Structure 1
Amino acid sequence: MKEYEEIVAFLDQWGCFQKVVFFLLCVSIIPNGFGAFNLVFLTDVPDHHCFLPDLNVSEEWRKSIIPKTFDLVCDDQWVQPFTTSVFFIGVLVGSFFSGQLSDRYGRKPILFATLAAQIIFTFAQVFSTSWTMFVILLFFNGLGQISNFVAALVLGAEVLTDKIRILYSSMGTCLGFAVGYMLLPVVAYFLRDWKSLLVALSLPCLVYIPLWWLLPESPRWLLSQGRVKEAEAVIRKAARWNKVQTPTVIFETDSVINTKSDKKPSGVLDLFRISSIRITTLILLFFPVFCTWKERYKTPFSLGAVAAFVALLLLETFKQPLPETLQQMHKRQRTKCPCIQKTEASEPVVLSDSPL
């Protein structure tokens, strides 16, 4: 069977279909910029005194932020950093399960299910009657947030192709996150009450509901499940939007079935088992460690930036783009530096016997 990008090459890379998918997926990532940093405003600890007699403090002042509402100061001041830790524990747990769920149930359903979970749990935090209730909801909020980001990243990387795929994976997702990150301080400036802030960050996300009918399922995932007709329907829809003609048969059913039957089970350990991708995986794993070490010891030069450069850019420089599937990982050759030329061994010279 031909490679997927060769089969859908007639669609062009940047038609109306690709532009809509690119833009809508970037927009779907904006709430992640809200959720990742809203605790900066929700758990801010105000200036206070621990042991003073009753003062004439207004109820409006007391309920403006979470530490005031639940008295999380003085002896309970450890709660503020612990709240942030609980959120990122949810992010960590979600990162383990989001890929597995999207592999089983599809990219599109998981994208919208996690987006709905993020909206619901963010809104439910408004009705928290205690800090414990707030933290439990916050954990599930973090779980849904990272799952939504991963699902959007994978869906765009599988629907888009070639240079547009690289542009979306590297810049598009980060741009959507940055928009949410920049809008958060503006909203928090005008809404000083933490409950109003959570409502403003959750309810507007209901506008994402119509995206269900605009965003497609990943044709690559559909093919991996043997659902050839549904994958062809997505491609034909893209062809109509791009105003190009489609061939009579896009995907050969027999080839897809044979490929699916021959498919070997794969897992996370393949990232370490395959020598051609092992070094890149290790660099990406140690990237957060380098960043943490830099912040801890205040080094003037970021080793994390070097690690990211080596992992993401060096391979492209050597004209070996990062693999899209595990099958491509198995076929991948070791990266060779172009500045080091391997000298060919000279052939031995065989002297013929002289007649003399």
Structure 2
Amino acid sequence: MSGRRKHNEERIRLRMNEDKSTTELHSSFYGSLGRYQWQQYFLHVLPAFTAGVHMLSQVTVGASPDHKCISPLPLNSSELEDVCYVETEEGLEKCMEWEYDQTYYGSTIVTEWDLVCDRRWMRAAAQSIFMFGVLFGAAILGPMADKYGRMKIFYASSVLQVLFGVGAAFCYHYIAFVICKFFLGMFGSAGAYVTGFVLTMEMVGPKYRTALGFGMQAIFDVGGMVVAGWGVLIKDWNLLQLVYGLHGAILLGHWWLTDESVYWLYTKGEKEKAKEIVQKGMKVNKLKASVSESDMEKIFSVADTKEKYGIMDLLRTPRMRLRILNVCLNWFANSIVFYGLSLNTDTLLKGDPFLMLFLVTLPGLPSYVLTPILVDRFGRRDITSTFMMVGGLACIIAAFIPKDTTAGSTAVITMVMIGKFFIAGSFAIIYNYTAELFPTVVRSSAMGSGAMCARLSGALTPLISLLDSFDPKLPSVIFGTISLISGFLTLFLPETLGKTMPQTLEEGESLGLGDRRRCFGSSIQQNERASVASDTV
């Protein structure tokens, strides 16, 4: 056991000694942000924008305006209020028809199909089904991107999200609408967005991963702001959904403009194609140097492989198994707070719903500016943990502040914005962090697994929100508690700041062996070394 441990540590030291020369070669194409990288990055971030539009469109398309019962006609009811049962001359009767307040909305799916009272769950189900679509997409499209290539899945998803996004606008039955939303979620987020993110992470070196990754999250939030803007201008839900769906048309030219991941091509043994893209990038960046076969070997440090890798490979070895479980919980927790705050603006906050949606989305932008500075200074692990715990705590506190007064309402808005600031930051970090924690051969599978867990919690969020019928504070307390627990467990992940991304399963399992940072003192460092020693036997 001792001999194997020494051999493993020696291999890590040799690998670390090669990092400097590898990074120098890497920077000739990937590490420096030249014209080529910016061109490709602009194409990669566009699906982040459309994903933000599709993800939050339900806030306007599926809004539930104030309403009152008009059939049977209540004897003493002059205000718009949620009335499910009314007193008539014949006694208590169930309401069959409602009048909806049109101050902010002309029509929504709620007013179209009367999704109130005992049909209220159908409104929540529409958003949940969209998220289950994203969940299903993450489960199958991530591994497919690892197997067939990033670009094939990226472009197929781009085309299909337009078809289903536009198709949802012409659905005049609830079942048809939610079917379109399911596939819109599948291809609009899990397919195009996550795959585009992986393409970016594999295109640049460690120096720029954080900033570019956070840029994609910022563009996602801009998509949410656009949702609010269109909601102000368009009052009919069919036309509004049509406009949202047409946003995906900006992705239709990607097949001819976007390049495949050089990392993926190289790990699949397609060296010539990989070399062609590298040479193309260097030409666009006006670099005179050429890349030889030996340079490519040093840059990627990976042997030819035709082995098939997938989600099960993430569970094969002890340290990666614990890591993927921890990361999946992190995605789950971040998502449940992020969407709990974003999708429930009508219940959490009072006032103009479009302004509230804009205000809840707004804190993400300064968070995406500040957080990259912090994570590049203090590391991914500690900042993620801190942000999740603060965000979860803010979510819980907001639930206990009375909203009856102006001061109370202002305090709730402030606390929600604080919570969104921190949880947006931690949610953005986990995209980069996951890409850095797992090797190239299973990176899309890891990202897909994390996204799958995030969408599972996203699917549960509208359903958990229905618990406000028992206690208005209960949903927020659940969201915040999960975030606090996951934030604490994040401290047990290895730090990836400034490290070369692993490429093989062996490198992924050994990640963190030389990590000198400590969370709870030297005991974790010693346990980690002991774990690695036992894993190599």
TM-score (norm 1): 0.80
**Alignment partner for residue 175 of structure 1, among 204, 212, 218?**
218
Q: Distance in 1 between matches of 2:258 and 2:486?
A: 34
Aligned to 2:522: 340
The 1:237/1:137 distance shift into structure 2, 3 A limit, reads same
Aligned length: 337
Aligned to 2:484: 303
Q: Distance in 1 between matches of 2:40 and 2:237?
A: 34
The correspondence of residues 1-356 of structure 1 with structure 2, limited to 5 A, is 7-11=25-29, 12-46=31-65, 47-49=67-69, 51-52=71-72, 64-145=107-188, 146-169=190-213, 171-247=214-290, 249-250=292-293, 259-261=303-305, 264-287=307-330, 288-289=332-333, 295-297=476-478, 302-303=483-484, 306-307=487-488, 310=491, 315-316=495-496, 323=502, 325-334=504-513, 335-337=515-517, 340=522
Aligned to 1:354: none
How much does 1:14 deviate?
A: 1.2
The 1:204/1:190 distance shift into structure 2, 3 A limit, reads same
How much does 1:186 deviate?
A: 0.8
1:228–1:251 contact (8 Å) kept in structure 2: no
CA deviation vs aligned residue, 1:207-249 (integer Å, no higher than 9, x gap): 3333333321111111122222211111111011110023263
The 1:55/1:147 distance shift into structure 2, 3 A limit, reads closer
Unaligned runs of 5+ in 2: 1-14, 74-95, 338-391, 397-475, 527-537
1:64–1:193 contact (8 Å) kept in structure 2: yes
Aligned AA (2:511): R
- Secondary structure in structure 2 of the residue aligned to 1:49: strand
The 1:311/1:207 distance shift into structure 2, 3 A limit, reads farther
Q: Distance in 2 between matches of 1:176 and 1:307?
A: 29
CA deviation vs aligned residue, 1:34-79 (integer Å, no higher than 9, x gap): 1111111111122131633699989x99971112222333442221
Aligned AA (2:271): V
CA deviation vs aligned residue, 1:2-54 (integer Å, no higher than 9, x gap): 98756543225211111222233123310110111111111112213163369
The 1:228/1:298 distance shift into structure 2, 3 A limit, reads closer
Q: Distance in 1 between matches of 2:504 and 2:249?
A: 34
Aligned AA (2:270): R
Q: Distance in 1 between matches of 2:276 and 2:293?
A: 10
Aligned-pair Cα RMSD in Å? 3.7
1:153–1:173 contact (8 Å) kept in structure 2: yes
Q: Distance in 1 between matches of 2:99 and 2:297?
A: 75
Which structure shows the bigger proportion of residues in helix conformation? 2
2:164–2:183 contact (8 Å) kept in structure 1: yes
CA deviation vs aligned residue, 1:278-309 (integer Å, no higher than 9, x gap): 44323222223586796335769951673586
Aligned AA (2:495): L
Q: Distance in 2 between matches of 1:37 and 1:129?
A: 21
